[in-house]
Amino acid sequence: MSRTRTPAARRSGMSQALAADRLGVPSVLFFILASIAPMTVAAGVIPAACANTGLTGIPVAFGAVAVILGVFSAGYVAMSRRITNSGAFYGFIAAGLGKVPAVAAALVALIAYESFQVATYGALGPSIQAEAAAHLHLRWPWWAWAVIMQSVVAGLGLARVEVAAKILAVLTTIEIAITLTETMSGLTSPAGGHIDLGTLSPATLTSAGPGTLGVLAVIAGLAFTGFEQSPVLAEEARNPRRTIAVATFTALAAIAVVYAAAAWAMEVHAGRTYVAAAAAAQGPGLLYNLSTASAVAQSAQWLFITSLFAAALAYHNVTWRYMYALSREGVLPAALSRTGRTSIPRAASLTQSASALAVIAVFAAARWPAMNGLFFGGSAEGGLGVMILLAITSAAVIRYFDRHPGGDESTWARLTAPAVSALLLAGAVVLAIMHFGTLLGTAPGNPAAWLLPSAFGVAAAGGLCWGAVLRARRPGVYRKIGLGPDAATAPAALTTLGAQP
């Protein structure tokens, strides 16, 4: 893998290489955990799921989905040892299924991660607005706070990658600690004086009929989105072969415990029969009120805001990395891949920031709801896109290892686990689309329930067309698709992945 700069690049301070060997296991782990946003899920997603569905199987659903994603990760991590690319899904799908599908997948990934990144401002703005009005007596509109936070993220997005990693580590550590503190308080003060173990029964997954399983699987699956991001940081990781594997499995296990325990504590504290009503009445307060210590509750409210900020910063970094990966290989304009002395592609980072500002401006001008529209809509859209990519990547892993035998990967990692995860994740995608209106909280017949999912179909079709154009008219660019850091040395590097038809 080449990470060298040309003489002209050295003189100008510009190159097309990210900073190597800067991120260890802790840094990568905290990038993942910040993307997952534990406090945001615990205080926002879980109460909303309880209120909207009335279901009590959420703790079990988190455990079941964690197992499914663990199965997926076996092949995913094995693939990451062979393929290093800051556009992880893009690189993996190029190596396994071909270059044209990879371009389509990359556009789906850009929409998904941009949706997540912009969605955070739909919750950040109103949350800061409420706190500022209560404590500072400032009556600014939500979008003003959203723009301020986006400007801070934009500035940090241009800093050296270690800066963002350290900020995310501090914020995420504190929010997980407070979430666990609230969880312990809830479990030690159960409704009726005893802990209800019934909510941990697998029977709760189908308690309201077969459709229950689908709804719970989708909710839990969307809450885990972000765990898959470690290969995106492989080019900047120290000892990526070990770092990516350890960070992925550690994050998945840790967050499964945090989510399941928090959901169980809320149900135990409120009572299984009353938790849905309590969630509808209290919202995030369902988590905050688990502790009788006012300092802990107030800290949790502020950490809900910092959790959103950390997620915004993490998704900002992931989105520009996909832009960078595509630009480096000529799929997008070359200017987006030029890095400066901080090894950050400024144009890609600023483009991502500009698109986020544009979305905030549209929602503000149209007076569309920030929380119910931008936050919930963007989160559901991003989660669906990532689930689609997980399913496709599972198929890519199988095809890649079939065409590239050898190595020390087990049959489980090369074939069995990817096949099982492909089937399960494809089913989850179907369920997500069928229940997308439920995820949005919209009334039956609302066009958003089909318009948002269809955006991925449009992006995929556009990507397939653009990939076909590159194959026919720009063969030099086409040959570089999916090569990642080796694109600069193509065509010699084509032997790394094998030429794709």
3-state helix, strand, coil in the chain (%, to 5): 80, 0, 20
Please report, for the domain that includes residue 442, its CATH number. 1.20.1740.10
DSSP secondary structure string for all residues of 167-217: HHHHHHHHHHHHHHHHHHHHHTS-GGGS---GGGSGGGGGTT-HHHHHHHH
Q: In 3D, which of 262, 286, 290 has the Cα closest to residue 275?
A: 286
Q: Element (H or E) spanning 355, and its range? A: helix 346-366
- pLDDT at residue 56 above 90? no
Mean pLDDT of 216-236: 80
Look-up of token digits 């119910």: 372
407 within domain boundaries: yes
Mean pLDDT of 95-99: 95
Q: How buried is 166 (Cβ within 10 angstroms: 0-12 exposed, 13-18 middle, 19+ buried)? A: middle
35 within domain boundaries: no
266 within domain boundaries: yes
CA-angle at 490, arms to 488 and 493, nearest 5°: 105
Please give the pLDDT value at position 284: 84
Please give the pLDDT value at position 73: 93
Please give the pLDDT value at position 210: 54
Which carries the bigger pLDDT value, residue 338 or residue 10? 338
220 within domain boundaries: yes
pLDDT band at residue 5 using 50, 70 and 90 as cut-offs:
very low
- pLDDT at residue 13 above 50? no
Mean pLDDT of 118-127: 92
- pLDDT at residue 163 above 70? yes
27 within domain boundaries: no
Mean pLDDT of 293-300: 81
Percent of the chain with pLDDT over 90: 39
Q: Per the structure block, which two tokens stand in for 102?
A: 């990879």
- pLDDT at residue 219 above 60? yes
Mean pLDDT of 211-218: 64
Q: Element (H or E) spanning 146, and its range? A: helix 142-157
* Max Cα–Cα distance, the chain, nearest Å: 73
Instruction: Give me the domain span that covers residue 281.
Output: 41-484
Look-up of token digits 């480096």: 328
Task: Please report, for the chain, how many H helices and E strands are present, in that order.
Answer: 22, 0
To the nearest 10 degrees (0 to 180), the angle between helices 376-403 and 417-434 is: 150
pLDDT band at residue 8 using 50, 70 and 90 as cut-offs:
very low
- pLDDT-wise least confident of 36-50, 144-158, 197-211, 422-436: 197-211
Please give the pLDDT value at position 101: 97
Please give the pLDDT value at position 96: 95
How far apart CA 482 and CA 485 sit, in angstroms, is 9
- Residue range 23-33, pLDDT digits in tens: 788 888 888 88
Which carries the bigger pLDDT value, residue 445 or residue 13? 445
pLDDT band at residue 496 using 50, 70 and 90 as cut-offs:
very low
3 within domain boundaries: no
Please give the pLDDT value at position 208: 56
**Mean of pLDDT over the chain:** 84
Which carries the bigger pLDDT value, residue 496 or residue 288? 288
- pLDDT-wise least confident of 131-140, 193-202, 388-397: 193-202
Q: Per the structure block, which two tokens stand in for 364?
A: 């503000």
* Total number of domains in the chain: 1
Q: In 3D, which of 16, 34, 484 has the Cα closest to residue 234?
A: 484
Identify which of 103-107, 422-426, 495-499 has the greatest average pLDDT: 103-107
489 within domain boundaries: no
Q: Per the structure block, which two tokens stand in for 370?
A: 């920030």
- pLDDT at residue 381 above 50? yes
Please give the pLDDT value at position 212: 55
Q: Per the structure block, which two tokens stand in for 212?
A: 């229950």
Mean pLDDT of 16-29: 72
- pLDDT at residue 313 above 60? yes
Please give the pLDDT value at position 485: 80
- pLDDT at residue 110 above 50? yes
- Residue range 332-360, pLDDT digits in tens: 998 888 877 767 888 998 999 999 999 99
Distances (CA, A) of 154 to 125, 236, 272: 16, 20, 43
Q: Where are the alpha helices (DSSP H) in 13-158?
A: 25-36, 38-40, 46-53, 58-82, 88-96, 99-135, 142-157
pLDDT band at residue 432 using 50, 70 and 90 as cut-offs:
confident
User: Which segments of 225-363 are extended strands (E)?
Assistant: none
Mean pLDDT of 369-395: 89
HSE value, Cβ hemisphere, 13 Å, CA-based, for 8: 2
How far apart CA 103 and CA 89 sit, in angstroms, is 10
Contact criterion met (CB below 8 Å) for 125 and 312:
no
Mean pLDDT of 114-125: 92
Please give the pLDDT value at position 70: 93
Contact criterion met (CB below 8 Å) for 74 and 413:
yes
- pLDDT at residue 455 above 90? yes
Residues 6+ apart with CB under 8 A from 426: 391
Q: Is residue 160 helix, strand or coil?
A: coil
DSSP secondary structure string for all residues of 427-484: HHHHHHHHTHHHHHTPPTT-THHHHHHHHHHHHHHHHHHHHHHHHHH-HHHHHHTT-G
- pLDDT at residue 264 above 50? yes
| One-letter amino acid for residue 208 of the chain | A
CA-angle at 38, arms to 18 and 304, nearest 5°: 105
Please give the pLDDT value at position 211: 53
- pLDDT at residue 495 above 50? no
6 within domain boundaries: no
